[in-house]
Each structure stands twice: as structure tokens, then as C-alpha cells.
């Protein structure tokens, strides 16, 4: 039966008809248990409030960027750090303070390759290796750059008959010339190299598909499916959606995360195998302490299995 349904879906797509997925209100197909998890402040032994700003995952390390708030600091914020942890067990590898002359600095990790990651400090990009040492080159990982040129997703809007305005679409390069497209936050999908839809799904009212994170080879994508509200808790994550484009096919699954950590920042590893989340743990503290968690991503079964 599964093979028959797949054949019918393929025929419909070839005719230019998009097959909608089931309602996103369905329960997640997988609940991921953390492989390891810990409080950042306790492990790093830093004074002051620890505020994580992003996370990235290489083949061997998980790197977190963070600010340590100090009201008496000259820049009004305090110190900025990069912290590197062993991907297998979460053991601290290195802590590095990042300095800048900016009056109001910020530190954000943009993406990672198998051995390096990109950090934005103020308005400057720096590539670091896994020892938190800056390298002499800048390598833009696949999937990181948002395509914003006017008209680039016009073919997608035409082929899907979307009502979204062109300037409110975002497109990301994936493997094999395929594209990840987000339209108005209410639509998401994958297109082939000619912008014909391989997959399209839509959200209900007050929901959104946001914050894509993509593996280095462009074959695994994770999106957040959220309550899209304007007041706290804004962008409360309902579940995650995994698009798997390995072996030349397309598979979709959903999952959620066990525990009470608010998912502030998340990243797929460069090899697409694991998923790191750094956020606030409200279950064990009224202040919401910063916690880093590592999860194994679901293995999507091939057709016929």
C-alpha cells in the first residue's frame, strides 16, 4: 500500500499538483531523549548571569556562544565566550573569551562544517577550528546563506499557486540543486532545481514554520513548528520537522524533545546525525538556567522497510 501511495503522489507531482501533508496538529512521531545534558553556568564556573546566544555542531565538538552579564562592565554587557564540548559525552574541551572593540558587541555562531564553524562578532565574520583558534580563511557552509535576491523564488510561488508575497519568501540551497523554501512563515517545502515542488506543507492559523538548520551536505533540514504569537512566550515550539534528502529521495518526519528546556537555539550537526539545543531550563529553577542538550536525530526509514 505504501508503494502504491508513493506512486500516486509522484504522478500528481509530475502533473504539477502539490500533495498536502497531514495537519501539523498531529502528535510528533518521535520523542527524543537527550544523550547528555547539563547546566552551562555550573560546568563553566562563570560569575554572573549566563546568556547563550547560539550553538553549532562539528563532527567532534559542540560549540556554544554566550554572554556573561556584568552590569559594571564598560560595554554594559560583560564578557563574551566560546565554549567547546565533546560531542560524545559533553565534557568541556575549551573556554575562550572573545574580545572586541565594539561598544555594544554581540557574538553569534552562524553554522559549522565538519571541523570548523563561523562566528559573527559585531559585523565581522571569523572562522574558528575545533580548538577555538581563528583560521586564515572564511568558508561559507552549504545551507547557511539565505537567498534574498528579488525574484529568486518566483518559480516556486507560480508552481505552488502561493498567495505569499515574493519579498516574504526565503530560499536556501540544498544538495543536488534543490531548494528549501519558506513563504510568509505559513508554508514550507522543498523544490527541485527548476523550482517545481517536491514537497509542500502549510500551517494553520497562529502557527509558523521557522528557524531552519541544515547539515553541511544539504541533505538534512530541521524546522521549528511554533505557536506564532506576538506576546511571550513568542515562538513557543510545538514540535520539529525533519526533511531528509539522503539517497536521492525525500522523507519527512516530526519529533519533539523530552524535558522542560525552552528551545532558544538549535543546530543540526555538520554530518546531519545529531541535534543540539541550548535554552532555558525552567523545571529546576525559577530563573531559567541555561542548559545544553544533545539529541540523536531520528533515522528515517526507506520506502518498503
Which range of residues forms the domain containing residue 185? 19-296
Q: Is residue 8 part of a domain?
A: no
The 8 Å CB, 24+ separation contacts for 71-75 are 75/102, 75/103, 75/104, 75/105
Q: Assess contact for 68 and 81: CB atoms under 8 A.
A: yes
| Among 172, 166, 48, 60, residue whose Cα is nearest residue 110 | 172
Q: Is residue 77 part of a domain?
A: yes
Q: What pLDDT shows up at residue 138?
A: 66
Residue 262: pLDDT over 80: no
Containing 5, the helix (H) or strand (E) segment is helix 2-14
Q: Assess contact for 111 and 144: CB atoms under 8 A.
A: yes
The residue assigned the cell 574541551 is 93
Tell me the pLDDT tens digit for each residue of 59-109. Answer: 999 999 998 876 555 555 678 999 999 999 999 999 999 887 766 678 899
Tell me the pLDDT tens digit for each residue of 119-153. Answer: 988 767 889 999 999 986 666 665 555 444 545 78
Q: Is residue 11 part of a domain?
A: no
Tell me the pLDDT tens digit for each residue of 168-198. Answer: 898 998 998 899 999 998 999 999 999 999 9
State mean pLDDT over 156-173.
91
CATH number at residue 140: 2.130.10
Q: Is residue 7 part of a domain?
A: no
Q: Is residue 85 part of a domain?
A: yes
Q: Is residue 285 part of a domain?
A: yes
Task: Answer positive or negative: Cα dihedral of 161, 166, 168, 170.
Answer: positive
Q: Is the whole model's pTM more than 0.85, yes or no?
A: no
Dist CA 237 CA 271 (whole Å):
24
Q: Is residue 10 part of a domain?
A: no
Number of domains in the chain: 1
Q: Is residue 9 part of a domain?
A: no
Amino acid at each position: 500500500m505504501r508503494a502504491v501511495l508513493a506512486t500516486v503522489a509522484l504522478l500528481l507531482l509530475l502533473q504539477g499538483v502539490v500533495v498536502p501533508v497531514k495537519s501539523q496538529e498531529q502528535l510528533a512521531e518521535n520523542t527524543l531523549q537527550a544523550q547528555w545534558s547539563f547546566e552551562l553556568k555550573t560546568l563553566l564556573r562563570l560569575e554572573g548571569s549566563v546568556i547563550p546566544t547560539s550553538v553549532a555542531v562539528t563532527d567532534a565538538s559542540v560549540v556554544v556562544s554566550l554572554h556573561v552579564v556584568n552590569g559594571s562592565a564598560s560595554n554594559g554587557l560583560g564578557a563574551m565566550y566560546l565554549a567547546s564540548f565533546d560531542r560524545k559525552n559533553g565534557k568541556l574541551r575549551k573556554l575562550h573569551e572573545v574580545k572586541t572593540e565594539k561598544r555594544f558587541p554581540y557574538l553569534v555562531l552562524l553554522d559549522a562544517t565538519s571541523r570548523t564553524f563561523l562566528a559573527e562578532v559585531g559585523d565581522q565574520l571569523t572562522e574558528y577550528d575545533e580548538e577555538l583558534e581563528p583560521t586564515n580563511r572564511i568558508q561559507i557552509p552549504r545551507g547557511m546563506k539565505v537567498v534574498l535576491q528579488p525574484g529568486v523564488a518566483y518559480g516556486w510561488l507560480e508552481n505552488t499557486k502561493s498567495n505569499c508575497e515574493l519579498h516574504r519568501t526565503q530560499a536556501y540551497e540544498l544538495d543536488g540543486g534543490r531548494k528549501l523554501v519558506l513563504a510568509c512563515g505559513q508554508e514550507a517545502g522543498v523544490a527541485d532545481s527548476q523550482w517545481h515542488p517536491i514537497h509542500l506543507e502549510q500551517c494553520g492559523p497562529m502557527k509558523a514554520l521557522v528557524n531552519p538548520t541544515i547539515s553541511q551536505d544539504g541533505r538534512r533540514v530541521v524546522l521549528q513548528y511554533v505557536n506564532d504569537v506576538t506576546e511571550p512566550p513568542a515562538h513557543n515550539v510545538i514540535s520539529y520537522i525533519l526533511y531528509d534528502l539522503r539517497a536521492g529521495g525525500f522523507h519527512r518526519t516530526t519529533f519533539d524533545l523530552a524535558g522542560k528546556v525552552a528551545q532558544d537555539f538549535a543546530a543540526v550537526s555538520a554530518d546531519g546525525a545529531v541535534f543540539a539545543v541550548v535554552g532555558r531550563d525552567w523545571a529546576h529553577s525559577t530563573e531559567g538556567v541555561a542548559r545544553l542538550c544533545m539529541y540523536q536525530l531520528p533515522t528515517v526509514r526507506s520506502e518498503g522497510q
